Amino acid sequence: MTPLPLPAPDPRICRGLADDLRDARYRSATVRAAWGEIADDAIARGLRFPAERALGGRTDALAVLARLFTLGMPQPADLVAAALPRTGGAGIVEVGLAQAEGDSIRPLALIRPQAFADETGDGEWWVASDLDEAALGGPLPEDHVLGVGGASLTLAALQLPTPARRGLDVGTGCGIQALRARQNIDDVVATDISVRALRFAELNALLNGVDGIELRAGSLFEPVAGELFDRIASNPPFVITPRVAGVPAYEYRDGGMLGDDLVAAFVRGVGAHLEPGGVAQLLGNWETRDGVDGLDRVRGWVEASAVPLDAWVIQRELLDPLAYAELWIRDGGTVPGDPEFARLAQAWLDDFADRKVEAVGFGYILLRRPLAGAPALARYERVGEARTGAGLGRHLADALAAHDALAALDDDGLAASVLQVSPDVTEARHHLPGEDAPSVIELRQGGGLGRTITADPALAALVGASDGDLSVGALIDAIAELLEVDAAALRADVLPGVRELVFTGFLSITG
């Protein structure tokens, strides 16, 4: 495959292109409306013909740009010129987004509108990236720069929304995390080992009118040696790839290390680049290997850090070796039935067998360099089917604040506190047929991570009565009297559950 030219970001052309896209109403909602939800879902699965069919013979600016930049289809040069009156076909050719072929303009990159929501409301970016499998008509090149995928959106939603002075995006790719970070952080350094990725990141910053992002080339923390940051975010190339000939090593997902060594290196090294109180957030894979649980291995990486770190690690998924191999072989554009699929799958399974890997976990890692004398946080948990989307970053920030507040309260202090149940909490009671008392009481969280926690009758009663009026101690005394049990014993039994519910956001301390 002939290598595609590097993007050549130009501030003037990018400003004009942004104005053209805006005037054409080239937004995620309008594009989706143009071809419908079914076609939009098909694009996410690499199928573009439903969208092509829905657009039919339309030649308006929105339809032309949707074909050109969302589907990656060549368009007549005169229609492109009409759709981009400031930029024209010559402008997008000059910045390396397209090339002229006779009377047509052939895209060399995608520019897809990407909607997002945060605490300030709804927003939208235009995100340029390399052509996908559907546009290329085959597997991706190894230097492919990925657009915005599910993992990218998850990490963007996880980023803490509280203000900070200086941030770092390690492995920026197309730059989506750097764009997200700049909404709350004054200055951001974005790094990547791929010059191609850095060019796309620069172009995307210009296209969206975002300043304050400094781009640097290099691996992991090499470009920021000796520097400290208040926030660090990374969607690193964490995919576990066999280190054998014939297996593609895609730059956007493969860090070139064995197994989960790249995530381990990040966790062990990030503390040296955090200011006291600074927070690092990343996505990652970890192996359950030779009988050692993956989360226990992550705990070992944290403990190996030369700088003590708080850790909150959430395992969201666990895949067996074959399912993991299939996921990433498909991601590279090779599907079952292709002769290459079986060969690649065998390479993955051989690699896992050599290291006695039984399963691979995926999830979120939050690390914090504690302030002097601050209480330690060490939480490693499995949260299956955890919700994603807007509000997660605020939930994590609130949980960190709740941890610090709880650590400052002994049991007497917690008993003297007044709590308020969160408005998104509901309760479900399950009864055996013919019995009045519930056999199971579940507290369910509509926001946050969407947790479901099983509670005993006393804890459920306390949650139900937590309306910001009476103290925890007063509520426990009343519940003890109602249940005809010893109040001191009930307090000892209930308070650990109260602490968990405050940390996880079911309850909040109001006084």
Structure confidence at residue 428 (pLDDT) = 95
Handedness of CA 250, 147, 85, 58 (dihedral sign): positive
Mean pLDDT, the chain, whole residue set = 94
In sequence order, what are the residues at sequence separation of 6 or more whose Cβ sits closer than 8 angstroms to the Cβ of residue 488?
none
Query: Could you report the per-residue pLDDT of 408-429, keeping only the tens digit for each?
Result: 999 999 999 999 999 999 999 9
Query: Could you report the per-residue pLDDT of 267-310, keeping only the tens digit for each?
Result: 999 999 999 999 999 999 999 999 999 999 999 999 999 999 99
Structure confidence at residue 335 (pLDDT) = 83
CATH of the domain spanning 148-404: 3.40.50.150
Residue linked to tokens 């002769």: 339
Please, which pLDDT band fits residue 2 given cuts at 50, 70 and 90?
low
Handedness of CA 342, 340, 6, 128 (dihedral sign): negative
For the chain, where do the domains classified as CATH 1.10.10 start and end? Answer: 407-509
Contact indicator for 270, 355 with CB cutoff of 8 Å? no
Half-sphere exposure of 307 (CA within 13 A, CB side): 24
Whether pLDDT at 385 is above 80: no
Query: Could you report the per-residue pLDDT of 94-153, keeping only the tens digit for each?
Result: 999 999 999 999 999 999 999 887 777 788 999 999 999 888 887 888 889 989 988 899
Structure confidence at residue 1 (pLDDT) = 54
Q: What are phi and psi of 129, to 5 degrees?
A: -160, 180
Query: Could you report the per-residue pLDDT of 355-373, keeping only the tens digit for each?
Result: 999 999 999 999 999 998 8
Angle between helices 392-407 and 150-158 (to 10 degrees): 40
Alpha-carbon distance of 460 to 466, in angstroms, equals 10
Query: Could you report the per-residue pLDDT of 12-56, keeping only the tens digit for each?
Result: 999 999 999 999 999 999 999 999 999 999 998 889 999 999 999
For the chain, where do the domains classified as CATH 3.40.50.150 start and end? Answer: 148-404
Structure confidence at residue 140 (pLDDT) = 82
Whether pLDDT at 468 is above 70: yes
Q: How many CB atoms lie within 10 A of CB 33?
A: 13
Alpha-carbon distance of 41 to 48, in angstroms, equals 10
Please, which pLDDT band fits residue 464 given cuts at 50, 70 and 90?
very high
Contact indicator for 115, 28 with CB cutoff of 8 Å? yes
CATH of the domain spanning 407-509: 1.10.10
In sequence order, what are the residues at sequence separation of 6 or more whose Cβ sits closer than 8 angstroms to the Cβ of residue 92?
13, 17, 80, 84, 98, 105
381-401 average pLDDT score: 86
